Amino acid sequence: MEVEQLEYQGTPSSTPRADRDRRLVRALRLREPTAADRLVATYGHRAYRLAVRITGNQQDAEEAVQDAFWSVVRKIDTFRGDSAFGSWVYRIVSNAAYEAIRRRPLAFVEISLDEVLPPFDEDGRHAGMLTDWSSRLHDPAVQTELRGVLSSAVSELPAHYRAVMVLYDVEGLSMAEVADALGITVPTAKTRAHRARLVLRKRLSTFMASAEASVEGIAREKGVV
């Protein structure tokens, strides 16, 4: 099972989604009385999910979403349709969330490859032992704890790495749409997604190695091995 499948389930965009957005945009532009409520119903949960992953704080996320939706309503006439409406909404939400954490230290640090790649010896070989623990991911005994480990690892990622993962792995946006929503280049979006996954896999490897050692220790105590 892939790491991202344990924490995220993407949902590809579809034509019906685009059709509903078209009607929503029209309602917002016409200032229909129910337009704002329809915006919240359509994007409220997903906007909050993005904001809370960026800020790591429920109160900040709620305020960011409120500010973002107010901006969407006020600035709807500036939406030209050059990109998907959803991408435009996500960009406003992410900007509001980033603003909420702007003064936090290390909020926008980059992840070095040295931090996430496995160690190599002078001959270019892996310095540590490589263990295939993929089959153990299906073990019910480790599933709950594993999800907790992954959730903790995601929360420790820099905010802009979390944003890429939420939009790509949770919301099912393409990398081009993710880049558009966050106002970055596609190569930058891909780099952040790749390094974020490396972080998660490294954390997962550490957890599984520890779990394996614990199981072997218990087995020795019971005389099984």
**Same domain, yes or no: 66 and 140:** no
- Give the range of the structural domain holding residue 49, as residue numbers without chain letter: 12-100
**Same domain, yes or no: 22 and 65:** yes
Q: Report residue 86 as tokens.
A: 């959803």
Tell me the backbone φ, ψ of residue 59, rounded to 5 degrees.
Answer: -65, -45
**100, 123, 145 — which closes off a domain?**
100
Residue 164 lies in a domain: yes
pLDDT confidence of residue 64: 94
**Same domain, yes or no: 76 and 140:** no
Residue 6 lies in a domain: no
Residue 147 lies in a domain: yes
pLDDT confidence of residue 112: 55
**Same domain, yes or no: 205 and 158:** yes
pLDDT confidence of residue 222: 52
Angle at CA 221, nearest 5°, toward 215 and 225? Answer: 70
Which CATH number belongs to the domain containing residue 199 in this structure?
1.10.10.10
Q: What is the pLDDT tens value at each position of the chain, 225 positions in all?
A: 344 333 333 444 444 455 568 999 999 999 999 999 999 999 999 999 999 988 888 999 999 999 999 999 999 999 988 888 999 999 999 999 998 887 565 545 555 545 544 444 454 444 444 444 455 556 565 566 767 777 777 777 888 888 998 899 888 899 999 999 998 999 999 999 988 888 888 777 777 666 555 544 444 555 544
Residue 87 lies in a domain: yes
pLDDT confidence of residue 102: 78
Residue 120 lies in a domain: no
Are 193 and 164 in contact, with CB atoms under 8 Å apart? Answer: yes
Residue 47 lies in a domain: yes
pLDDT confidence of residue 90: 95
| Structural domains of the chain, count | 2
Q: Report residue 197 as tokens.
A: 């996954």
pLDDT confidence of residue 223: 53
Residue 125 lies in a domain: no
Q: Report residue 205 as tokens.
A: 């490897």
Residue 117 lies in a domain: no
Q: How would you write the chain as a 3-class SS string?
A: CCHHHHHCCCCCCCHHHHHHHHHHHHHHHCCCCCHHHHHHHHHHHHHHHHHHHHHCCHHHHHHHHHHHHHHHHHCHHHCCCCCCHHHHHHHHHHHHHHHHCCCCCCCCCCCCHHHHCCCECCCCCECCCCCCCHHHHHCHHHHHHHHHHHHHHHHHCCHHHHHHHHHHHHCCCCHHHHHHHHCCCHHHHHHHHHHHHHHHHHHHHHHHHHHHHHHHHHHHHCCCC
Nearest to 49 by CA among 84, 83, 8, 100: 8
CB atoms under 10 Å from CB of 219, counted, come to 11
**Same domain, yes or no: 139 and 62:** no
**Same domain, yes or no: 90 and 138:** no
Which CATH number belongs to the domain containing residue 76 in this structure?
1.10.1740.10
pTM for this model (two decimals)? 0.66
